[in-house]
Structure 1
Amino acid sequence: MTYQGMLERARKFERQGRHGEAAAAYAGAAEAMEAHGDWTSAVAVRARGARALAAAGGTGEAHRILDELDRAAASMPAEVRAGLDAQAAHVLAAAGRTGEAARRAWSAMSAFWSLHDRKRADGAGVHAARLIVKDAGAREALRPLRELLAQMPPGGEGYRQVAKLLAEAERRPDRDHDVLVTDPDSAAWGRLAAALAVGAHLAVGNGVAWNALSGRDGSSRDDKVLLERDWNITGHESWREQMDALLDARNSDPAVQMVLDQRGRGTGPREWRAAVVAWCREHDVSDETVGEVAGLPDLIERYEVRFRADGLLKPDGVVESVYGYDFGRAVNMARWGLNAGYCDAEEAEKCVLTAGGRAHQVYSSWGAFSAGYILGRMLRFDEGEFGEWYERSLTGHRVLAEDPGSPWRRMAWG
């Protein structure tokens, strides 16, 4: 088999996700090149093989190979060293050494630009930018992203992508909550992304990526603490119990949805209260509970008046369901459960898709969903005060409704 045939076979394995077989195929091609004295090509191919090996989980062996290649490539042409840097960035990233990986990708970009290889320079530059954000976080990434962008000729696709990453980082104020964060390594559109966007209120509130199912590095312990403290969840069984309650919209007070369901079109507050009381009598609800529930129409109307004034509802809009509050939290429960190790990625993704699908069945738009989510949250925590709970929820809504990078702006509802 020719070199080209051997390399094409290795690339085919990579495309199929068969990284271990790809690594072996690259190694075979490199040995054949070395046997014929083609040392420079062999270094490039071994570097690509190390990348495949790291993707297969062999990061330690891949790094050992890179150390040997670094020594061998020191006296080789600049193109070989640039290619080695580019592959090393992927190996180091797979090993979790993102800071070192970003520096190697940046070095590869600079070398490719000096060689007038724009395509590979763009690829290395974008990779460096993503690694910088992942390693440093959006706020600390501002300065290096600006420096990186200054080294890239404007007008190209790589420049555009890095400029976008910089713009997203610059939109973050100097705080770690109430901000839109988009993970550049995760899909920002498609069926799963649309379902993840149903959980965007909490993601914005917590300053985490709305489109990433798995959380940031080091978040496992934080999510375990959160789940035990706020939800009494300590393992898969208790996580699944809470998840099912959220997906079935059983976590919130059922009286709220009952009250909303009793509102007839064109009726006033008095008729609405009377309908609520009548429903309670028909279902043998205690007098004490009837007294509590009968006041909900007035409280809901107070929120709706404020919602209209603040743009959460249209001038004649009303909230028809608070199920969105449970569906939005279900998306985040999937993320927390995955990070805590209480479920696997397949189960978490299935839960997210279910939450998104049920939200789309209940609501007609992102705006209607947001109003329902916020009303459910206010009736649990704000108690008619329009305090910090309300202000932060309104801030989250405005970020998602107005930011050009928001999934609510980029994807149609449903």
Structure 2
Amino acid sequence: MTVQADTGALLDRARKYERQGRPGEAAAAYAKAAEAVEARGDWTSAVAVRARYARALAAAGNTGEAQRVLDVLDRGAASLPGEVRAGLDAQAAHVLAAAGRTGEAARRAWAAMSGFGSLQDVKRAGAAGVHAARLIVKDAGPRAALQPLRELLAQMPPGGDEHRQVAKLLADAERRPDRNYDILITDPGSAAWGRLAAALAVGAHLAVGNGVSWNSLADHDESTGDDRVLLERDWGITDTASWRKQMDALLDAENSDAAIQMVLDQRGRGTDQRAWRDAIVAWCSERDISDQTVREVVELSGQILRYEARFRADGLLPPDGLVESVYGYDFGRAVNMARWGLNAGYCDAEEAEKCVLTAGHRAHQVYQSWGSFSAGYVLGRMLRFDEGEFGEWYERSLAGHRILTEDSESPWRRMAWG
């Protein structure tokens, strides 16, 4: 038997052991095959065999030795042909994953995908891409995995089984199986651009918080009963007339406490607290407001200042930013009121869309940007529910703001304000 034939038999045996789940015996066979290849001076092939040897060692639980073998191979990787480098990256991903170095493993698998892709080796590129996607989710978790999964999927040829597997991983990450709230969901069957989409995006805070599609009015899960329960429990809505009354109040920005906007309107261009309080007192005096109410609205101005300071620290406002209106809180809820009313059967699709477009138009008249709208929405929500605690209401609202301003798939990133 020739040396080459003997090497081929060793490799076949090693692969057989791998298929049988006998990694220790596979590693021993790969080691012998590598020695045989090296003996005939075929260093390029030896690297490929040694990489398989390292993977078998890792599978057998000997990750320390596997990493040492990998380190030696990596030192000479730059001079290797592209196919061998891609193969080394693919095996390295398995070794590093077994050693708990998941982030590095994902990067090596991605590199293998790119390497095989440049060689037009579609099958191995796809396998490496799926491996990279699984490692990304394991390392980063569903939320942080969204953007890299999107980028990875964009580099894979569409239509193949591997592309579908990665697309499913992305869809699962978007659905967040660990929770059903504080997640950006875009309905692929509904428009994500245009006038209606821009108006629907005004309601995205609540959509993200509730884990529903921001760009769809119709509930495809047919949860009519759920929306009717929600409307009756939280809004006292039991029929079309009561729904219309609440919708009109939201569209006219009359659902929130009018004192909040009055206080904001008394502030001039500066941030001087004393001047602001004096302006509030003067406004109240002209209207014969009771002393108790005056004290309450002056205290409200101090509460607003505290929220604005926290907003600046957390990025909800720019360093010198102020909230000029809380009408956005009503407009944002109006979009969702249209969704709930449609799914509860209290309005038809045409009326729901008309309400959404009105809410979007009025929000665009009041605010100058998605960021200023978001700050106004969140302040209105905090003054209604949080009561200065900076508790769960605030943390959830801040999470929604960050998702909508940072996620590249957010409508706030993809559509200009107005």
The alignment's TM-score, normalised by the length of structure 1, stands at 0.61
Does residue 208 of structure 1 match 2:224?
A: no
Q: Which residue of 2 aligns with 1:82?
A: none
Aligned-residue identity in percent: 73
Give the distance between the partners of 2:254 and 2:172, measured in 1 at CA: 37
Does residue 255 of structure 1 match 2:259?
A: yes
Where in structure 1 are there 5+ consecutive unaligned residues?
A: 1-138, 140-145
Of residues 290, 308, 318 in structure 2, which corresponds to 1:314?
Answer: 318
Give the distance between the partners of 2:224 and 2:163, measured in 1 at CA: 33
Alignment of 1:255-274 (within 5 A): 255-274=259-278
Q: Which residue of 1 aligns with 2:380?
A: 376
Over the residues paired in the alignment, what is the CA RMSD in angstroms?
2.4
Alignment of 1:123-272 (within 5 A): 154-156=156-158, 166-173=169-176, 174-272=178-276
Alignment of 1:111-126 (within 5 A): none
Q: Displacement of 1:163 after TM fit?
A: 5.5
Q: Which residue of 2 aligns with 1:397?
A: 401
Cα 1:395–1:282, aligned 2, differ >3 Å: closer, same or farther?
same
Give the distance between the partners of 1:262 and 1:373, measured in 2 at CA: 19
Contact 1:168 1:181 in 2 (8 A): no
Cα 1:162–1:374, aligned 2, differ >3 Å: closer, same or farther?
farther
Q: Which residue of 1 aligns with 2:370?
A: 366
Cα 1:165–1:351, aligned 2, differ >3 Å: closer, same or farther?
farther
Q: Displacement of 1:294 after TM fit?
A: 1.1
Q: How many residues align?
A: 267
Give the distance between the partners of 1:166 and 1:285, measured in 2 at CA: 60
Contact 2:183 2:208 in 1 (8 A): yes
Q: Which residue of 2 aligns with 1:324?
A: 328
Please give the secondary structure, in 2, of the residue aligned with 1:346: helix
Contact 1:243 1:333 in 2 (8 A): yes
- Runs ≥4 in structure 1, deviation > 3 angstroms? 156-166
**2:390 counterpart letter in structure 1:** F
Q: Which residue of 2 aligns with 1:282?
A: 286
Larger radius of gyration: 2
Please give the secondary structure, in 2, of the residue aligned with 1:334: helix
Where in structure 2 are there 5+ consecutive unaligned residues?
A: 1-141, 143-148
Give the distance between the partners of 1:202 and 1:243, measured in 2 at CA: 16
**Residues 148-181 of structure 1: CA deviation (Å, up to 9, x unaligned):** x99xx94247897985675243244310001111
**1:155 counterpart letter in structure 2:** P
Q: Displacement of 1:288 after TM fit?
A: 1.7
Cα 1:272–1:176, aligned 2, differ >3 Å: closer, same or farther?
same
Contact 1:201 1:328 in 2 (8 A): yes
Does residue 351 of structure 1 match 2:355?
A: yes
